[in-house]
Amino acid sequence: MPELNPGAFAHFLRHACTASKAHLDRKEVHHEIRKQVEKVREVAVEKKPEKNIDNEIKRLNDKIDLVLQKESMMLEKETAAISKLGSDEVRIKALVKRMKETEQQLQQARQERDMAMRQNKEDVKILMEAIGSIKSRLSKLMQEEKSREERHRIIDEKVSKAIHPSP
């Protein structure tokens, strides 16, 4: 069984109680109107109904006005709640859209990063090959230089022996 979110549960209970109170208020007002209509009927049946019936009809009209006023207020509250719900839905849709756009931007940034990393690896590989080639050529040049120096040394020794013969 999934765990209940206390905040969501409290929100649900608050709205359930509000709806229940609105229902009870409507029921009570309808009951009072029925009672007032019964009084009007009773007065109408009496022998001298003129004065009493006017008072009872006035009370009935007052109660009907009160009911209409309460219904109007409840309708305004319901409309406001629906409007708020609608604006919340619009806000949620906007946030979802923004989140998707951000995810797309993130995905694009990852792709660009991956492509840059591949390019960097290729560049490093090319540079390493170039460095290896340069090292190889440098090594060959150093060996050639050593062999030239060795030949120069040998030639210098021969020339010096030729100029200064040994006794």
Q: What is the DSSP string of 8-43?
A: HHHHHHHHHHHHHHHHHHHHHHHHHHHHHHHHHHHH
- With 0-12 / 13-18 / 19 or more C-beta atoms within 10 angstroms meaning exposed / middle / buried, residue 158 is exposed
d(CA 49, CA 57): 11
User: Looking at residue 118, what is its pLDDT?
Assistant: 92
**Residue 36 half-sphere exposure, CB side, CA atoms within 13 Å?**
19
Splitting the chain (167 residues) into consecutive groups of 10 residues, what average pLDDT does each group show?
A: 72 78 80 77 66 72 80 78 71 85 91 92 93 95 95 91 77
